[in-house]
């Protein structure tokens, strides 16, 4: 690696240590700030999760008589356990849909034509839109009296009641909107992988008479599979943070059918002011996310650092 | 592979991929046409909800429940919006996003440079830790930040919000700028050292100007991430520092369903993002998929 070679030093030893000192100085502010804004809050969260801290008496409830009380309570809290099931359903559905749609579009758009190139850019729009705007867009689409879709269905004599007010469909409506927002991520990653694919195996296989499906199944797909796995994990991690869509579309309802763990934690903290309990919920989510991040790391999404 | 190859992979928006390699079996004009038509049809389907929101913003309130696309565009929705408190929150968004971007760059760019050029033991762990902070769920940060801000008096302030955004933007800067710095040849810096420059002098005079497009792209990305935030702003602001995304939801809740105002607000909020996306599309892609593709 070119940049691993150390520059020819004017005066070797002193220069080397001066250089190290300079770099350490450049790195230090970031590490200090990151320590202060990530590790310190994480530690505070952990401590808070051992207390019955709540808004009504923040000082008085800061004791450790029963440190695992919140966690014990979590195991008996049907609403919390339900929120995990909801989370898993939503995550599984939206990640699967995003991988499928993103992969399909990447394969469709992967060509040298100028139209396809322009379309590749336009398909990115949902991903960069402010999430709150995405939520507004789907609030409009899912609200019968203002939605063009509902009115069109009405016009052909097939009225459909609001999918976000219906307990059977609300979660799927959210998964659908989430997919609309995030399929470009998979699309981009797969397109990038397709571009880095060497041409030879494909040429060789087509000369050997492989058809399009065989080319895809035995050559293209194995090449992009690692990207799909990493992509799925990235989206899975992000799916635990789903918030604006749920906040605007359903507010966790109807009942609690769209109340994911993240949302339940939010309600416990900022509606009910049960800080200690909400901290325990956040710790559980944090543990899940870190496990997944570790998995992503293991799968080596960042090789150029290892070399 | 040289580092220049790995640091700058061809990015997905610039063509030249697989279909070309199938040249022996020359794709017919019709078939290529068919793909383009399918792509445009799908694009129309995907863009429809988005375009519907934009068109509602210009539709007179009286026509709102008509499906007809024939109407005289009006700016009433925007006017009503800007007469209220929305302008204030829009400016708050601008201030918070700019401040957060500036802070992230000021702290993160030197760190990224150090991580690129300085091969110290444990470097990989530091880089990984920085990236993982970005993965942490906001709920985990908001509870401690909310409590700390009440104590520090940073609640409902622009500075407070900009500081919280460092939790994700600092990681983005450090991570992304590494790929840009890796693309700058070290030979130029070595020449500067020999001429008597110190490490940071060489960085400031040689490397940073060469990486300027990367800095600009990173800045835009930070701005967008801060601009797009809803969760932190919802919890950490009240009246003074309310940002535009929160303001929209507030009038959605407290003023009933005024669709043209909602649509106008949504359109205004996404405007900067869409403009920036067009401007730095190429780099944006690299930022959004940073570290995601094995090379």
B120 interfaces chain A, CB cutoff of 8 Å: yes
> Which residues of chain A make contact with B263, given a CB cutoff of 8 A?
136, 140
Instruction: Looking at the complex, report in whole angstroms how far the Cα of residue A167 sits from the nearest Cα belonging to chain B.
Output: 22
Q: Which residue has the higher pLDDT, A178 or B275?
A: A178
Helix/strand/coil percentages in chain A, nearest 5 = 70, 0, 30
pLDDT digits (tens, 9 = 90+) for B176-201: 898 889 888 888 888 888 888 888 88
Count, residues in chain B: 295
Give the confidence band of B82 by pLDDT, cuts at 50, 70, 90: confident
Instruction: Looking at the complex, report in whole angstroms how far the Cα of residue A213 sits from the nearest Cα belonging to chain B.
Output: 14
Q: How many other C-beta atoms can be found within 10 angstroms of the C-beta atom of residue A108?
A: 16
Instruction: Looking at the complex, report in whole angstroms how far the Cα of residue A168 sits from the nearest Cα belonging to chain B.
Output: 23
Q: What is the pLDDT of residue B267?
A: 93
As a whole number of angstroms, the distance between CA B192 and CA B190 comes to 5
Instruction: Looking at the complex, report in whole angstroms how far the Cα of residue B78 sits from the nearest Cα belonging to chain A.
Output: 16
Question: Taking a C-beta distance cutoff of 8 angstroms, is the pair B237, B156 a contact?
Answer: yes
As a whole number of angstroms, the distance between CA A111 and CA A130 comes to 29
3-class SS letters over chain B = CCHHHHHCCCCCCCCCCHHHHCHHHCCCHHHHHHHHHHHHHHHHHHHHHHHHHHHHHHCCHHHCCCCCCCCCCCCHHHHHHHHCCHHHHHHHHHHHHHHHHHHHHHHHHHHHHHHHHCCCCCHHHHHHHHHHHHHCCHHHHHHHHHHHHHHHCCCCCHHHHHHHHHHHHHHHHHHHHHHHHHCCCHHHHHHHHHCCCCHHHHHHHHHHHHCHHHHHHHHHHHHHHHHHCCHHHHHHCCCCCCCHHHHHHHHHHHCCCCHHHHHHHHHHHHHHHHHHHHHCHHHHHHHHCCCCCCC
User: What CA–CA distances, in Å, run from B286 to A47, A112, A236, B270?
Assistant: 38, 20, 20, 21
A38 interfaces chain B, CB cutoff of 8 Å: yes
Q: What is the pLDDT of residue B16?
A: 46
Which stretches of chain A drop beneath a pLDDT of 50?
Answer: 1-5, 303-307
Determine which of B17, B71, B115, B206 to mutate to test the interface with A (most A C-beta atoms within 10 Å): B17
For residue A247, the SS3 value is helix
Q: Which residues contact A66 (CB under 8 A, 6 or more apart)?
A: A52
> Which residues of chain B make contact with A209, given a CB cutoff of 8 A?
none
Query: Which of B116, B143, B281 shows the shortest C-beta gap to A269?
Result: B143
As a whole number of angstroms, the distance between CA A277 and CA A282 comes to 9
Nearest CA in chain B to A3: B186
DSSP state of A36: I
Q: Do B285 and A119 touch (CB under 8 A)?
A: no
Q: What is the pLDDT of residue A19?
A: 85
Q: What is the pLDDT of residue B91?
A: 95
Q: Which residue has the higher pLDDT, A202 or B8?
A: A202
Mean pLDDT over the full length of chain B: 82
- The residue written with tokens 């995601």 in the block is B292
Q: What is the pLDDT of residue A277?
A: 92
A303 interfaces chain B, CB cutoff of 8 Å: yes
- Residues 177-236 in A contacting B (C-alpha not used; CB under 8 Å): 180, 185, 188-189, 191-197, 199, 202-203, 206-207, 220, 226-227, 230-231, 234
Question: Taking a C-beta distance cutoff of 8 angstroms, is the pair A190, A103 a contact?
Answer: yes
The burial of B53, by beta-carbon neighbours within 10 Å (0-12 exposed, 13-18 middle, 19 or more buried), is given as buried
Q: Which residues contact B178 (CB under 8 A, 6 or more apart)?
A: B112, B115, B116, B127
Query: Which of A121, A275, A302 shows the shortest C-beta gap to B291?
Result: A302
For residue A158, the SS3 value is coil
Residue A74, token pair as written in the block: 């979590």
Q: What is the pLDDT of residue A202?
A: 82
Q: Do A132 and B14 touch (CB under 8 A)?
A: no
The DSSP H or E segment spanning A183 is helix A170-195
Q: What is the pLDDT of residue B200?
A: 87
Question: Taking a C-beta distance cutoff of 8 angstroms, is the pair A245, A131 a contact?
Answer: yes
As a whole number of angstroms, the distance between CA A106 and CA A187 comes to 5
Q: Which whole number is the average pLDDT over B72-78?
A: 81
Q: Do B259 and A140 touch (CB under 8 A)?
A: yes
Query: Which of A29, A189, A283 shows the shortest C-beta gap to B293?
Result: A189
Angle at CA of residue A285, ends A54 and A163, nearest 5°: 95
B294 interfaces chain A, CB cutoff of 8 Å: yes
Question: Taking a C-beta distance cutoff of 8 angstroms, is the pair B42, A105 a contact?
Answer: yes
> Which residues of chain B make contact with A300, given a CB cutoff of 8 A?
294
Q: Do B145 and A41 touch (CB under 8 A)?
A: yes
Give the confidence band of B15 by pLDDT, cuts at 50, 70, 90: very low
A125 interfaces chain B, CB cutoff of 8 Å: yes
Residue B93, token pair as written in the block: 């968004």
Q: What is the pLDDT of residue A88?
A: 94
Q: Over 80: is that where the pLDDT of B68 sits?
A: no
Q: Over 60: is that where the pLDDT of B7 sits?
A: no
Question: Taking a C-beta distance cutoff of 8 angstroms, is the pair A41, B145 a contact?
Answer: yes
pLDDT digits (tens, 9 = 90+) for B219-236: 998 999 999 999 999 999
| pTM: predicted TM-score of the whole model, two decimal places | 0.86
The DSSP H or E segment spanning A75 is helix A69-76
> Which residues of chain B make contact with A91, given a CB cutoff of 8 A?
none
3-class SS letters over A266-297 = HHHHHCCCCHHHHHHHHHHHHHHHHHHHHHHH
């Amino acid at each position: 690696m070119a940049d691993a070679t150390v520059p020819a030093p004017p005066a070797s030893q002193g220069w080397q240590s001066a250089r190290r000192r300079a770099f350490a100085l450049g790195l230090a502010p970031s590490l200090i700030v990151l320590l202060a804004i990530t590790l310190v809050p994480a530690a505070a969260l952990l401590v808070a999760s051992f207390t019955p801290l709540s808004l009504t008496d923040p000082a008085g409830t800061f004791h450790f008589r029963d440190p695992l009380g919140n966690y014990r309570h979590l195991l008996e809290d049907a609403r919390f356990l339900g929120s995990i099931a909801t989370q898993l359903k939503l995550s599984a559905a939206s990640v699967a849909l995003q991988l499928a749609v993103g992969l399909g579009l990447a394969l469709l758009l992967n060509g040298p034509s100028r139209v396809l190139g322009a379309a590749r850019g336009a398909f990115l729009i949902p991903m960069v839109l402010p999430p709150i705007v995405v939520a507004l867009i789907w609030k409009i689409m899912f609200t019968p009296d203002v939605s063009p879709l509902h009115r069109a269905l009405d016009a052909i004599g097939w009225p459909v009641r609001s999918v976000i007010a219906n307990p059977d469909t609300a979660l799927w409506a959210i998964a659908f909107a989430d997919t609309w927002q995030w399929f470009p991520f998979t699309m981009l990653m797969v397109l990038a992988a397709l571009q880095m694919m060497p041409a030879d195996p494909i040429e060789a296989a087509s000369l050997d008479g492989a058809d399009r499906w065989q080319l895809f199944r035995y050559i293209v797909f194995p090449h992009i599979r690692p990207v799909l796995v990493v992509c799925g994990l990235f989206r899975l991690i992000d799916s635990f943070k789903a918030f604006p869509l749920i906040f605007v579309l359903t507010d966790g309802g109807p009942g609690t059918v769209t109340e994911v763990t993240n949302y339940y934690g939010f309600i416990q903290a900022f509606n009910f002011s049960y800080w200690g309990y909400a901290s325990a919920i956040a710790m559980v989510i944090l543990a899940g996310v870190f496990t997944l991040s570790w998995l992503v790391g293991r799968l080596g999404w960042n090789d150029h650092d290892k070399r | 592979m040289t580092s220049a190859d790995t640091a700058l992979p061809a990015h997905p928006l610039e063509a030249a991929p697989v279909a070309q390699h199938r040249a022996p079996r020359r794709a017919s004009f019709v078939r290529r046409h068919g793909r383009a038509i399918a792509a445009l049809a799908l694009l129309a389907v995907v863009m429809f909800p988005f375009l519907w929101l934009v068109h509602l913003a210009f539709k007179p309130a009286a026509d709102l429940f008509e499906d007809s696309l024939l109407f005289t565009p009006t700016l009433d929705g925007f006017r009503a919006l800007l007469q209220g408190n929305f302008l204030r929150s829009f400016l708050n968004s601008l201030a918070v996003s700019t401040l957060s971007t500036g802070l992230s760059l000021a702290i993160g760019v030197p760190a990224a440079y150090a991580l690129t050029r300085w091969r110290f033991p444990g470097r990989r762990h530091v880089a990984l830790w920085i990236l993982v902070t970005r993965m942490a769920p906001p709920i985990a940060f908001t509870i401690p930040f909310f409590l700390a801000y009440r104590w520090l008096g940073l609640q409902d302030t622009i500075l407070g919000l900009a500081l919280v955004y460092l939790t994700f933007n600092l990681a983005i800067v450090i991570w992304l700028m590494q790929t840009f710095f890796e693309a700058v040849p070290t030979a130029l810096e070595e020449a500067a050292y020999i001429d008597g420059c110190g490490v940071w002098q060489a960085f400031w005079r040689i490397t940073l100007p060469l990486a300027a497009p990367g800095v600009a792209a990173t800045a835009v990305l930070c701005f967008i991430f801060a601009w797009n935030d809803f969760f932190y702003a919802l919890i950490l602001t009240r009246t003074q520092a309310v940002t535009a995304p929160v303001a929209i939801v507030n009038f959605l809740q407290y003023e009933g369903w005024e669709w043209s105002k909602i649509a106008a607000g949504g359109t205004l909020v996404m405007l900067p993002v869409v403009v920036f996306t067009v401007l730095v599309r190429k780099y944006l892609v690299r930022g959004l998929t940073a570290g995601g593709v094995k090379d």
